[in-house]
Amino acid sequence: MKLKLIFLLFISNFFFAQKPDSSFIECKYLTTFLIDSANTHTLKKELAYLRIGKNSSIFRSDFKEKADSITFAEIDKSNKNPVNGIAIMRTENWASAKYIPEVIKRNGEIIIFDKILNVTYNYPAVEKVQWSFLNETKKIREYTCKKAVGKYHNKSITVWYTEEIPISEGPYTFKNLPGLVLEAYDSKDYFHFTLESLKRVVKPIVPLDRAVKTDYERFSKKRAQVFNDPIGAFVGIFGKTPPKENQESMISNIRSINNYLD
């Protein structure tokens, strides 16, 4: 595997001279995350990929691509088989990823994409982790990894990176280390990323194109407003009050999504 990776790194310069917006390596991480900090039963697992190019990278749920394909296929099927001239959308067959945030890095700038209800926002990741390097090592897959710890917003983060893969990349915003991050987690293990595979993948690195630009302060404030007043947020987005019989469950559902990595 190491020899193959060296070859990938060697050919990347030639590859990117022709296709600067495509990846040459894809890392897949098993992503474990707790949606509701008060309910351990909301622990979820999804694969997420990190596609790395010469000047850019993207980290997102691997299931999102599959979910989008399933959803578009269902829409296409409905349009081809209308009932009395009306396309009936069977939304129960639509798939959705549970791990929502996406991170794109371009020319050193890191942008986070995240959702509040049905609206996607993006904002620069201004929070910079100041890493402390520890004299500890361990093996992950076949690589020797070194340990570093740091603070990210209000969370203590531990990463294991390998200098055997000299790429300053990693899952989420955990980048800019002396090598590729193979594992990362917070002190409560609410969020945990572990490398599952690494291979050559040539695919475009394209961010979401339908997102509201903002900054972290405004995004965080909006998220808190929705949590504190779910009904008001619903009215603000949809222009109407939800039925009374649905309001209690709607409030409960919105407030159960309360655990964030930022």
CATH code for the structural domain at 2-214: 2.50.20
Tens digit of each residue's pLDDT, the chain (262 residues): 554 454 444 444 443 344 457 999 999 999 999 999 999 999 999 999 999 999 999 999 998 877 665 554 544 555 556 655 554 545 455 557 889 999 999 988 999 999 998 899 999 998 889 999 999 999 999 999 999 999 999 999 999 999 999 999 999 999 999 999 999 999 999 999 999 999 999 999 988 888 999 999 999 999 999 999 999 988 887 788 888 888 899 899 999 999 999 9
The residue count of the chain comes to 262
The whole-chain average pLDDT of the chain stands at 85
pTM (2 decimals)?
0.82
- pLDDT tens for each residue of 92-126: 555 578 899 999 999 889 999 999 988 999 999 98
Domain ranges of the chain: 2-214
First CA to last CA distance, the chain = 34
Backbone angles phi, psi at 91, to 5 degrees: -70, -15
